[in-house]
Amino acid sequence: MACIWDTHSLHFGLLFGILLSFSVTTNGLKLWPMPKSVNYGSKTLYWSTNMQLRTDGSNYADSSGILKEAFERVVNLIKADHIIEAKFANSSVLAGVNVVVHSSDDTLNFGIDESYTLNVPAKGSPLYAKIEASTIFGALHALETFSQLCYFNFTSKVVELHAAPWTIYDLPRFPYRGLLIDTSRHYLPVPVIKSVIDSMTYSKLNILHWHIVDDQSFPIEIPSYPKLWDGAYSYTERYTINDAIDIVKYAERKGVNVLAEIDVPGHTLSWGVGYSSLWPSKSCREPLDVSNEFSFKVIDGILSDFSKVFKFKFVHLGGDEVNTSCWTTTPRIKEWLNNHHMNESDGYRYFVLRAQQIALSHGYDIINWEETFNNFGDKLSPSTVVHNWLGGGVAQKVVADGLRCIVSNQDKWYLDHLDATWEGFYTNEPLTNITNPAQQKLVLGGEVCMWGEHIDTSDIQQTIWPRAAAAAERLWTPFDKLAKDPKDVISRLAHFRCLLNQRGVQAAPLIGNGREAPSDPGSCFKQ
């Protein structure tokens, strides 16, 4: 089936209203990320003023209201606060969407089936789009794709769906498609975190890596050790345990798991504000004191509390950038190391491996930054996932040793590197030089990292987007469907960036470095 519009009939960057009204242009489908398989026709359908959600044939009862809530959310996104006037040129009215979910379970397990089929017929009375998915979370992805097919027509003042009939089959390439946020360097209010979660779903990212605490602040309540959040920046820049529960539940209803991180034994200066005995000494305050049993009791208490809040199967234990000099310059710790026949490197390994055992005792699989693998990879728990960030070639070594890996190499996928362009985000390939199929499966996916030293509520979204979306397509779309030259997706990514803006997400222009302001007046589609 072919599109009705011809190659020269539309020009990228023309009037906003004209471009926004077309879901298919000569530059290709305006879907982001690109689905696995798409077929479409040439007929225009018109939205009913009373779009209906049906679940005929579905096994999913929606007792928690996830589907109903998602459908209402999508309808509101598509309408974009426009006033709809029911004036149709013909009877091709789309009455609603019928969603068939085969599983009755809505537990968001890692690796869950996220596939879906979306069919929009061109004929029928009444006309219903049909979504079929194994799980509710595949259905949520289908609703997002459906939303990108529909546009408000500024002339007729109705919502239209162009190029019916549509047949789309889709599933993710990788199960782990992550975004890191950092609430230690700058506090992010709960509504801001929720807005980031919302924006993640538009490009089908599914893991929010919450780097909660670090040297600078300890903003989260830990009931087992209530003085830990004395390390917060201020009395108000904190998260109660109920805030964390709320964030996790909010994310899960959108198909996003929350990965909690405590970075040990380094990056822990703020821990000692409430419990100074965690410091090696008052003048030498990190890493955590390897000789003090209290260090491990606190970690155990944190992870015990986390296990009641963060239900994701993984916990991130950090392990990066550990400067152990305080251990050898503090006499009692140096003596402890000597008594246990350890040097500084041995103490680092001992600390990481003991923290791993604590996490395992609470039912978690572990993620550690790559330094742990680089220094003592053969000693890590077999359940360890190694988080690559320093550079290329690490994932290849990790999977060759039989461990799992997540890719976030800083030269390409660190969002705080404002000189890292969207083209680099798009072309960064997690499976570089990994050709063995069994080893490829050990690469769980990747993550873009929004470190917080130079971002806060005022600029987080425009620093994340649209560059994170470029990586999102790399992680979702089949390899053979990805553009070999990022120039081939400029039009489509610009369209998605403008869609984010329309939805209230402050996505920055494509042109220039990350977080760049528009250089001149002009259309969103040309920036």
Catalytic residues: 321
The dihedral region occupied by 363, where left means phi > 0, alpha psi between -120 and 50, and beta the remainder, is left
Which pTM was predicted?
A: 0.94
Report whether 177 contacts 204 (CB < 8 A). Answer: yes
- How far is it, in rounded angstroms, from Cα 235 to Cα 491? 46
Q: Count other Cβ atoms within 10 Å, centred on residue 224.
A: 14
Q: pLDDT of 358-407, one tens digit each?
A: 999 999 999 999 999 999 999 999 999 999 999 889 999 999 999 999 99
Q: How many CB atoms lie within 10 A of CB 8?
A: 7
Contacts of 435 (CB under 8 A, 6+ apart): none
| pLDDT, tens digit, 9 for 90 and up, residues 135-152 | 999 999 999 999 999 999
Asked if residue 120 lies in contact with residue 41, where contact means CB atoms within 8 angstroms, the answer is no
d(CA 99, CA 117): 10
Confidence of residue 14 (pLDDT cuts 50, 70, 90): very low
360: Cβ–Cβ under 8 A, 6 or more apart, which residues? 366, 381, 383
Other Cβ atoms closer than 10 A to 328 = 15
Handedness of CA 359, 364, 366, 367 (dihedral sign): negative
C-alpha span between 94 and 53 (Å, rounded)? 12
Angle at alpha carbon of residue 170, lines to 165 and 171, rounded to 5°: 170
CA distances from 394 to 318, 356, 372, 390, 456 (A): 16, 21, 12, 8, 31
Instruction: Name the more confident of 468 and 1.
Output: 468
Strand, helix or coil for residue 251:
helix
Instruction: Give the model's confidence band at 8: pLDDT under 50 very low, under 70 low, under 90 confident, else very high.
Output: very low
Q: What is the DSSP letter of 87?
A: -
